[in-house]
Structures are given as structure tokens and as C-alpha cells.
Amino acid sequence: MILDKEHLRANLDEVIWNIEEARISVSEHHIVQLVAVGKYTEVENIVTLYKLGQRAFGENQVQQLKARMAALEELPLEWHMIGRLQKNKINNLIDLRPSLMQSLDSLSLAEELNKKLDAKEAKMNCLLQINSAREETKSGVTPEEAQDIYLQIKESCPNITLKGVMTIGAHTDDTKLIQQSFETTQSIYEKLEKEGATVCSMGMSSDYALAIKCGSNLIRVGSALFR
């Protein structure tokens, strides 16, 4: 559904207001980046959000990312890959050169990605995905092994530039459990800051204010913008 500009403006204003409120409760100096997730919306709505000042957009699938980037190549957008990456789609993703690949969910994926980046003489900025809620339906490394795997990738995958970590909050209505999953990731992120980590990507449409209060500095919001 194509949404009119005023409708999208109201949604964007509401999200930005909520970000500001949560951000300031942490610190006036806490900066949060909003990545708009276009997964279920039309290209026209992305164009309208761009006109309203939004620059960073994320897609869950390589095919969708490719189509969107092609359709909107005239616009200076910052593209993020935020969904699970299948190994057979790695070369396609490398060719798209996203600003950030947020879902590096295992050491074996990192090794495969590094190998193919090397062959193409390319580099990629990535986040290590942590399954902090320990849910079987989610991909990502466990909190216990996250730090070691992060350092291992840093050491053995020179074509990957690790920028930090990403998590998806616990899939539940229990705010305490969601908060716990964010706090787990945030504490790992803090330990990795001395390794150069600058991005802690946590929070989606249903829980981004809570994620920011737990220290997130990048949120991935779709339905709250495009409803």
C-alpha cells in the first residue's frame, strides 16, 4: 500500500520522538541511528521517507535488497543487509556493497564470506549476530562464545571489518525477558568496545525504546513507520 506523505511524516515523527525520549534517558550524548526496514512496503514509500529526511534503509533478503537498490540508485541511500544470509547468496551480496551487513551469525559464514570477499578483492562492514534470547528459531552465536568468535573473525578474516554486534530481542510479551536479552548483548558490546566495536544494533518496531534504554545505538524499524 502506498502511503501519503503526511501519514508517513506522522509515523516518522512519532518514532523519532520515542527515540529522543529513550535516548535522553540514557544520556544527552547517546546517539541512535534509525534504519528503516522496507521489507513489507512499496518502493514509493521509501522515496517519501527519503524526502522526509530518512537515509538508512535495511532489507532482509539479498534479492529484495538488489531490487530496491536498483530501483532507487538515483538516491544517496545507505543500505543495510539485516536478514539471514545464505551461503549461496554471498557473491550477490558482495556485488551490492551494502554499507553494513548486520547478520553475520556464525564463524563458518564469516570464513566463507571472507574467502569470497578475498577473491573479489572487496571488504565488508559487518556486525556479529548474537542469539542473546537463546531461541531455537533465531540464528546467531551464543552469548558465551560471542566474544571469542568476534576476536577470531577479527583475527582470521581480514576482509571483514567488524563494527559491533546485533541481536533480536526475545520473542515474548514479557518485558523482563526482552530487557534481559538486550542487557546480555549490551554487556558483550561493552567488552568489545576496546576491540573497536562502535555499533550495538538492538530493537525493532515493538521494542526499540526499551532497546535504546538498554544501550542500543542502532534500531531497525519497519512496521512502526509503514503502518
The stretch 188-201 carries a mean pLDDT of 98
Angstrom distance (rounded) from CA 227 to CA 209: 18
pTM of whole model > 0.85?
yes
Q: What is the pLDDT of residues 141-175, one digit of tens each?
A: 999 999 999 999 999 999 999 999 999 999 999 99
Q: Are the beta carbons of 32 and 225 closer than 8 angstroms?
A: no
Mean pLDDT, range 186-209, rounded to an integer: 98
Using pLDDT thresholds of 50, 70 and 90, give the confidence band for residue 135.
Answer: very high
- Structure letter (DSSP) for residue 61: S
Q: Could you give phi then psi for residue 52, rounded to 5 degrees?
A: -85, 0
User: Tens of pLDDT along 54-73?
Assistant: 999 999 999 999 999 999 99
Question: How open is the CA angle 70-204-192, to the nearest 5 degrees?
Answer: 95
Residue 200 CB: number of other CB atoms within 10 A? Answer: 27
Q: Is the model's pLDDT at 104 over the cut of 90?
A: yes
Region 112-138: mean pLDDT is 97
Q: How many residues does the chain have?
A: 227
Helix (H) or strand (E) holding 221: strand 218-221
Rg of the chain's alpha carbons, rounded to an integer?
17
pLDDT at 40: 84
In the structure grid, which three cell numbers stand for residue 196, read together?
A: 573497536
CATH number for the domain whose boundaries are 34-48+57-226: 3.20.20.10
8 A C-beta contact, residue 37 and residue 60 = yes
Spans of all domains in the chain: 34-48+57-226
pLDDT in tens, 11-33: 999 999 999 999 999 999 999 99
Residues 38-48 have pLDDT tens digits of 988 999 999 99
pLDDT number for residue 153: 98
Mean pLDDT of 109-126: 98
Residue 29 per-residue DSSP state: T
90 pLDDT above the threshold of 90 = yes
Alpha-carbon distance 165 to 84, whole Å? 15
**What is d(CA 24, CA 109) in angstroms, rounded to the nearest whole number?**
37
Report the pLDDT value the prediction gives residue 60, as an integer from 0 to 100: 96
For residue 161, the surrounding DSSP H or E stretch is: strand 160-167
Helices (H), the chain: 5-26, 43-51, 62-71, 90-96, 107-119, 143-156, 175-192, 208-213, 223-226
Residue type, 189: Y
The yes-or-no verdict on residue 51 having pLDDT over 90 is yes
Mean pLDDT of the chain, nearest integer:
97
